[in-house]
Amino acid sequence: MSAPERHILGISGGRDSAALAVFMRQHHPDLPIEYFFTDTGKELPEVYTFLDRLEGFLGKTIRRLNPDRDFDFWLKEYNNFLPSPRTRWCTRQLKLRPLEHWLRPDLEAGVTVHSYVAIRADEPSREGYQSTHPNMKVHLPLREAGIDRAGVLEILRQSDVGEPAYYDWRSRSGCTFCFFQQKIEWVRLYRNHEDRFMEAVNYEKTALEDGSPFTWSDGESLIDLIEPKRMQAIEDDYAARITRLRARRPRNPLSAKTPDETVDDVYGIDEADGGCVICHK
């Protein structure tokens, strides 16, 4: 009798994990993969719409792992100090904790858990979530198959799953007020989901009143960021950066398609440095 095993695949709400789910469904249809999404309750509406569409393709439910205590609870536990790149308590408490709680009983019972992680072939510096438990085995199918960003986009196109709508204005999935956002993304959050932006403003206001050293966006408050002249300056700077980026890129004379720049491309950010181990693309 073979030892018990589980196969899991985390869906972030972004391109890469969705493409991996499609890839595994197409190339390993016999694997009993359990799809999961660690839901903070602070996700973009577009994320939930995309999850529903992906479920339709997979023919399986994507299990929502809800933290037993929400963002507001943990914010109070951390004395209203906002999470930041230096203190990522949001990742620990809202993403990793629910996942570990879900898997712990089986891991401790001796079940081997195979985790399939969406890290591409063109991301050599990324590692993703690495469990220290000996029964957790991490696999990187996209990297092993040589699939890069262009390959991910092709998988989503051919499957008709497509991309989440938020990619029209934002670079990654994750909480609406993720501190990894660039200033242009905060401006776009304000323009696309003003209610979510104002929620972040209220969190920031309370944090500053309680002595937090951090604002959501480095160097300025969100209220200052949405002053009309400041927003215009941010948008003008972003447009100028795109122009410079396109001027530096070699053009394909056989293609009329505009290059697919991401916010990370425009600001010269390594994707591995612009997100946490769970809230990735």
| Each residue's pLDDT tens digit, 88-107 | 899 999 999 999 999 999 99
Distance from C-alpha of 225 to C-alpha of 220, rounded to nearest angstrom: 7
pLDDT value of residue 273: 52
Q: What is the pLDDT of residue 258?
A: 46
Query: 272 or 160, which is more confident?
Result: 160
CATH homologous superfamily of 5-168? HUPs (3.40.50.620)
> Which is nearest to 150 in space by CA: 179, 121, 172?
121
The residues pairing with 138 across neighbouring beta strands, listed in sequence order, are 115
- What is the tens place of the pLDDT at every residue in 47-68? 999 999 999 999 999 999 987 8
Higher pLDDT: 267 or 150? It is 150
Q: Identify the CA nearest to 130 among candidates 108, 118, 115.
A: 115
pLDDT reported for residue 259: 46
Asked if 228 and 187 count as a contact pair (C-beta separation under 8 A), the reply is no
Whether 34 and 7 have beta carbons less than 8 Å apart is answered as: yes
> Encoding tokens for residue 235?
């948008």
Residue 128, pLDDT score: 64
User: Given this model, what pLDDT does residue 11 score?
Assistant: 96
Beta bridge partner(s), residue 116: 9, 139
pLDDT (0 to 100) of residue 172: 82
278 has a pLDDT exceeding 60: no
Question: For residue 161, what pLDDT band results from cuts at 50, 70 and 90?
Answer: very high
Q: What are the helix and strand counts (H, E) for the chain?
A: 12, 5
Percent with pLDDT over 70 in the chain: 89
Residue 155 has pLDDT above 70, yes or no: yes
The domain spans of the chain are 5-168, 183-273
Q: What is the pLDDT of residue 256?
A: 41
**For 241-255, what is the mean pLDDT?**
75
**Would you state the pLDDT for residue 262?**
78
Q: Return d(Cα 22, Cα 93) in angstroms, integer.
A: 29
| CA-to-CA separations, 161 to 5, 101, 107, 155, 281, in angstroms, rounded | 29, 30, 33, 9, 15
Cα gap 179→188, rounded to integer Å: 14
Give the pLDDT confidence score for residue 225 in this predicted structure: 97
Averaged pLDDT of the chain: 89
